[in-house]
Structure 1
Amino acid sequence: MRRQNLSLVLGAVAGHSPLSRADVAGRIGLTRAAVSSLVDELIGRGALTEAAATASGRVGRPGRALAVNDRGPAGLGLEIGITHLGACVVDLRGEPRVWRRVERANTGRPVGEVLAETAALAADAQAEAAALGLRVEGRVLAVPGVVANQPAGLVERAPNLGWRGVRPADHWPDPDTAPEPENEANLGALAEYWSAEQAAETFVHVSAEAGIGAALVIDGRLFRGARGFAGELGHIPVRPDGADCACGARGCLEQYAGDAAVLREAGLAQHRPGDPVALLTERAAARHEPTLRALDRAGQALGLALASAVELIDPDALVLGGAYAELAEWLLPPVRAELAARVTVRPWDPDALRPSALGRRGPLLGAALTTVRRIMADPLLLPAG
């Protein structure tokens, strides 16, 4: 009960600050004495601060303004991408305070080398956060691969990195500070849900870089599946007799809407390496006809896969994240056309398909916010002052 009440107080202040203790009591329906005790504990754990007395317009002593601490507890997010490493520190208000990204070609690199460099980046980000008065309370690592429910902490496979059966903690310099791995698409979806002003409760979030990933949020909760493998949209067949896929199947969506496929269709494959999304955006904006045709075909294939997801799941929304968000100007029309032609069993609002405002920042931000959201739900995770 105390855990729940601490969470109620912290949530009230986070959503409506500045508030006095009396204001909080009125909002959550507890007595002032109970709220005062809870506030004292949250201040002691570093979650809240209390400013000087301010006039509230009510009769009696002025209240002291409570606010979520912008120093103290924080979450550290890390990301291993195909072409980069990232680190982000977010305070309890959900504000990014440290943001780092370094370009690295990680495909095929030794696992230990990649994780050692990620650990060094994490240490630098944590040191920068400490200089701002922030104390990292948890670490989550976004990876472009399948993370099993059991055993915990195991990246079952990340084909675009060349990983199979990798446990990041086994390669981390200090196992006590090793991050918890999570699929990047899942974290992108959670960041979308936590950050959007009017987030849908049930939606499909689909994103792409070297591969295509999707995540399902159902009634406000991430759906991971029985073993943690839910969301492999990139390997749904959209052309049953189509091109061979690295997964062993044929005609998978990745072969038609992944960045390598789009570059190939656009005649731009020779420009790889580099940032393929920036290249496609540049050429599409310049009205490069092969690029426009390639994006149109990718949108058709993506729409075909998403139509199946709509019929199966009945979501409130479809969100294009990651690289797809940056290419939305050219992808949305063909995706919408496919949905209009194929979603016939249930009503479908074309505006329910939209790009994410987070773009490629989503997975890293979601990794950092995971710790913050856990603390908001259970402030007892914080050490007592």
Structure 2
Amino acid sequence: MRLFKALLAFTAMVPSLTSALEIDNQNIGSVKAAARTVANNLMTYYNPSYPMGGLQPPYYWWEAGGLMGSMIEYWHYTGDATYNDAIARGLLSQAGPGRDFMGPHTDGNDDQGWFALAAMAAAEYGFPQPAGSPPWIDLAKNVFNQFASRWDTTRCNGGMKWKIQPGADGYHYKSSISNGVAFQLAARLAKFTKEGRYLDWASMSFDWMRSVNLIDNDYNVFDGTDDAKTTGCPDVNHDQWSYNVGVFLYGSAVLQAHTNDPKWIDRTNGLIRASSVFFENNVMIEKQCERAGNCNVDQQSFKAYLARWLAATAVLVPSTQSAIVPLIATSANGAMMACTGPQNSQCGFKWTTRNFDGLTGVGQHMAALEIMHGLTVNPAMNRMSLAPKGHARRFTA
């Protein structure tokens, strides 16, 4: 109970403004009720018939995988199973004939990876499975096998390309998010299965990121590098996005919990420190575009993933809680002030303004929902093995 009490105590210290969600910082039931409102709003954007498992324009296919991951997390943290059937069927509908999320919309390694991470969470949490469907863990393993087959040593001594098909725009770009989802998937498979090949691959992946300076000595994570030059990857794109540091943070935390190897706690702590560039007075921001007001639809969802993985890191590695608790608590307070829009408390994008900014959509609701999950964290899950349980462990009010 200590982490939950610390979060509520810290949140209670933050000046409270009137919110349409009416969260009582001392009442976990109130937090869950607010999360239910945000989840309801988020699911209004998901139409199972367009097609099942996808989102309507302007959203790209990959973000549907992010949404499904958010809703699996929602069930895990709150126990509300309202949307479980829709999410399970939507996720399975995208598995494809190879049961690896390779389909007509899959053009990027990162795109495929978001669905794999949702399947991985479903396996870890024991998310209910429709009768006759392939095990969640098999879907995640199949995607990993695809990733391993695409590890490219022809340029830069390794790495995952952003795009899958030769000739595609972005094929010669080795992006941090493609490498990050592959790294985190391998890390989580290593912990779940206890198979050494996944640990070896995850370690290799992280070391490669360091070798080309996509993760620098201060653990800043940069966007990617062009591999078109035969001399290697000298041209690093130094843009920083919140989901890039988040994906490597949680993968490192998983490996610390799995191996207890000092290098992984050092990396976990280093990535937490590096994430500070995405906070303004402890409130999360998308620094690359939010201040300028030019975040595109994809970028409006990135904070959701950093929020998700900060909370999950605090669960797995208790020593990180002193650094993470203030970030979650203050950001959650700002997010709730942004969820005051019309039509059932729609959520805005900017949390620093402490009001609804009029910019709403899938990413905004995902981000608010994920940061609220951090307020429901039960420290008993610190001992969670992330192996099949048949049901999720949740806070009981």
Larger Rg: 1
* Fold match by TM threshold 0.5: no
**Normalized against structure 1, the TM-score is what?**
0.26
| Higher RCO structure (Cα 8 Å, ≥6 apart) | 2
Higher helix share: 2
